[in-house]
Amino acid sequence: MGPERSAGQEEITIEAMSLVGIPYRYGGNTPDSGFDCSGLVRYVVARAAGVNLPRTTADMSSIGTPLERDDLASGDLIFFNTTGRAHSHVGIYVGQGKFVHAPNTGGTVRLESLYIPYWARRIDGVRRVAANKAPAGNTTYVNRTAPDTVASQAPVAAPLPVVPMNTAPNRPLTTATPSPLDPQTTPPDRTANLTTPPAQDDDPIARFANSSM
């Protein structure tokens, strides 16, 4: 059983959804200036949960509680390897297999599906940064201040349909030696094809995120 949901996670989700459409800007930290990926996450978490995160994605990746993907809930941070470097991109999970992020120059903050293979294959970490109890004051993490590099552009694609897992057909018992050329059934790549949303996606904030698509 994963960690309990933290105070502030629903607020993080609502705040992130409210910023969809804001222009991308490298080094941007506010709605007026625009956002890069870590600038967006830092702004949202500070406003919604009173937690001051480091400025870069790499530094954010060591903050909070690490989670298994099955424990992912709306308001958690989700990290990606988009440049061949670990934790080079970050977004905010909002439920129902979707996350909000600021992906690239010329784009905007947007709602994206984790079912798109490009993103599913590149997940390399999940963190919960909201405090378990409302803090008396802001929590601050100190780090270097250089902004992140621009994430690689993901191809625009609709979420793939659910593909049922291949199963080997029933064969009658036989004493004959099976042919060495008999095909073998291989389970599909569970990482590349996310076919079931996380178990905690039944909260009302997640349903709100789903209906906005």
Domains and CATH numbers, the chain: 7-132 (3.90.1720.10)
Known catalytic residue at 37: yes
Q: Walk along the chain (213 residues) and give the pLDDT tens digit of each residue.
A: 556 666 689 999 999 999 999 999 999 999 999 999 999 999 999 999 999 999 999 999 999 999 999 999 999 999 999 999 999 999 999 999 999 999 999 999 999 999 999 999 999 999 999 876 444 444 444 343 345 544 444 433 344 344 344 444 444 444 444 444 344 444 444 444 444 444 444 444 444 444 444
CA dihedral sign, ordered 15, 102, 77, 113: positive
CA dist 94 and 17 (Å) reads 8
Query: Per the residue annotation, which of 42, 55, 98, 101 is the catalytic one?
Result: 101
The catalytic position among 42, 55, 89, 98 is 89
Q: Which residue has the tokens 């690239």?
A: 104
pLDDT at position 131, please?
A: 72
Determine which one of 16, 17, 19, 37 is catalytic. 37
Q: Rounded to two decimals, what is the model's pTM?
A: 0.65
What does the pLDDT read at residue 152? 45
Residue 87 falls in the annotated catalytic set: no
Residues 6+ apart with CB under 8 A from 154: 82, 103, 112, 116, 118, 119
